[in-house]
Amino acid sequence: MSVLVNKNSKIIVQGFTGSEGTFHATQMIEYGTNIVGGVTPGKGGQMHLDKPVFNSVAEAVRVAQANTSIIFVPPAFAADAIMEAAEAGIKVIITITEGIPINDMTKAYAYVKNQGAILIGPNCPGVITPEEAKVGIMPGFVFKKGNVGIVSKSGTLTYEASDQVVAQGLGISTAIG
């Protein structure tokens, strides 16, 4: 049983055309994750990694029916990106960016909570439902499908715990780092 993301999640990448967004979006697509496009203001209408680029999250929701976002934008802009996603109706927001000012995150967290969305992060490796969706930066090969859920505050320990579960002949339903 998956939580938060699965094969039917419609995922956008905020900061899609930047180096980090491009690198990790490529890996997520190769894993089989349903990336429906990305957001980079001022670059809407283009294609990137064979996916549409939108100027705003609202446009991505309207056109691609996005319901999940992963954020790879610089720290100074990340809180605004989080709030933009929540305002547009995104219900699962995964923020990889680290170094976001604490006052910005306090404001963003309250806003997301008020919108009824779920925020994972910031400074996290993401969420993976093995064989369905990898929304983050974790090494997908570590995770095998099964019935054990993992929630961790540490990216590296998420991978290690998952590896140990798999080594015991079990598997992971969803891992949240």
Q: For all residues of the chain together, what is the average pLDDT?
A: 97
Residue 155 clears pLDDT 90, i.e. is over it: no
Confidence band, pLDDT 50/70/90 cuts, at residue 1: confident
A 10 A CB-CB count for 71 gives 27
- Is residue 107 predicted with pLDDT exceeding 90? yes
Confidence of residue 96 (pLDDT cuts 50, 70, 90): very high
Is the pLDDT at 122 greater than 90? The verdict is yes
pLDDT at 174: 98
**pTM to 2 decimal places:** 0.96
The predicted structure's pLDDT at residue 116: 98
Q: What are the chain's domains?
A: 11-126 (3.40.50.720)
Express the helix, strand and coil content of the chain in percent, nearest 5 each: 35, 25, 40
**Per-residue pLDDT at 41:** 97
